[in-house]
Amino acid sequence: MANKNRTDRIVVIGLGRFGGSLAIELVKGGCEVLGLDNRPQLVQRFADQLTHAAVADTTDDEALTQLGVREFQRAVVGIGTDIEASILTTSLLDDYGIPNIWAKAVNRQHARILQRVGAHHVVLPEYDMGERVAHLVTGRMLDYIEFEDGYTIVKTIAPEEAIGKPLSESGLRVKYGVTVVGVKRPGGDFTHAEPPTVINRSDILVVAGKRKNVESFADRT
């Protein structure tokens, strides 16, 4: 087994549907995962699947300290049903100076509070999935991912105005404020887009930019 450094060690707090599935995926990806939950039955369920699993009240500073949580560089707070515990746990992790704290929120108000008490990244699974599916249902986009601050990457078909032209002459960046970062030919793999790349009618494009710009671009496809 490869040596693990500190960035490969992640503590996942809350082993419900979100936290549990996330923890298992992290282990599959080669990370060492400490899973914590205050429900013994859940901890028992994941005991053989995670690197370490323990029953703990994660709002208790002493309990987290004894488990070595202060030493982690990444933490995920997956507590969803107990908002108070979610907030208190996130605040403790911030007090420890953990540089990467991810937290699950059940609504936007909860998300704002988590950010205020120290979460660096807030995940709204229900909202995020709803927004993503809404974009896909319209048929304008083949895939859609939105990051922080409204930055978006989408997979979409090539617009008529770009067909047969090199990217450097298409004017897409100037007109729409987006960047074509990848191109997929029929039957081929995605390749990095270069200024001389000529867009064909059957190409699929990977486009990045601000959400409103990307949506405006997708409307033209």
For residues 190 and 204, give the distance between their C-alpha atoms in angstroms, rounded to a whole number. Answer: 9
**d(C-alpha 157, C-alpha 201), whole Å:** 8
212 phi, psi to nearest 5 deg = -65, -35
pLDDT per residue over 115-147, tens digit each? Answer: 999 999 898 887 777 777 777 776 778 888 877
Give the distance between the most distant pair of CA atoms in the chain. Answer: 65
**Contact status, residue 112 vs residue 46, Cβ threshold 8 Å:** no
What is the rounded CA–CA span in Å between residue 122 and residue 148?
Answer: 9
Tokens read off for 25: 């995926």
Residue 144: what pLDDT?
Answer: 85
Of the candidates 144, 198, 147, the residue with the CA atom closest to the CA atom of residue 170: 198
Half-sphere exposure of 142 (CA within 13 A, CB side): 11
Query: What is the per-residue pLDDT for 199?
Result: 92
How many other CB atoms are there within 10 angstroms of residue 7's CB atom? 12
Confidence (pLDDT) at 2: 37
**pLDDT tens track, the chain, 221 positions:** 333 443 489 999 999 989 999 999 899 888 999 999 999 999 999 999 999 999 999 999 999 999 999 999 999 999 978 999 999 999 999 999 999 999 999 999 999 999 999 999 898 887 777 777 777 776 778 888 877 677 889 999 988 999 999 999 998 999 999 999 999 998 888 899 999 999 998 899 999 999 889 988 888 76
- pLDDT the model gives residue 138: 67
What pLDDT shows up at residue 132? 73
How are strands ordered across the β-sheet holding 190-192?
A: 143-146, 151-157, 204-210, 179-184, 190-192
